[in-house]
Amino acid sequence: MAKMYRVYSIIERPKQDDYWLNIGVAFPHDNGDGFNVILQALPLAGNGKLVVRAYDPDKHEADEQEKQAVAKKGAKASA
């Protein structure tokens, strides 16, 4: 199975951590000489800097579960 990478547009925010907006994926060529990049959005924020990071499905699943738990907790607190 080919390794998959996530493509992020970095949004700089004053007095806060930068926000990494996931805008697509990248797959390495079979010969290792490049990537196919598939963007779902254009990097319009800031300087247009893109970051490509290796995608770990296990870590991604844990991050998504944590986000859902925080969202549910926030919804209960505001009710």
Confidence (pLDDT) at 1: 42
Angle (CA) 15-42-46 rounded to 5° is: 30
DSSP β-bridge partners for residue 26 = 5, 37
- Tens digits of per-residue pLDDT, 37-51? 999 987 766 677 788
> Who wins on pLDDT, 59 or 9?
9
Domain ranges (residues) in the chain:
5-78
Quickly count helices (H) and strands (E) in the chain.
1, 4
Other CB atoms within 10 A of residue 26 CB: 20
- Tens digits of per-residue pLDDT, 1-27? 458 899 998 888 889 998 888 999 999
pTM of the model as a whole: 0.63
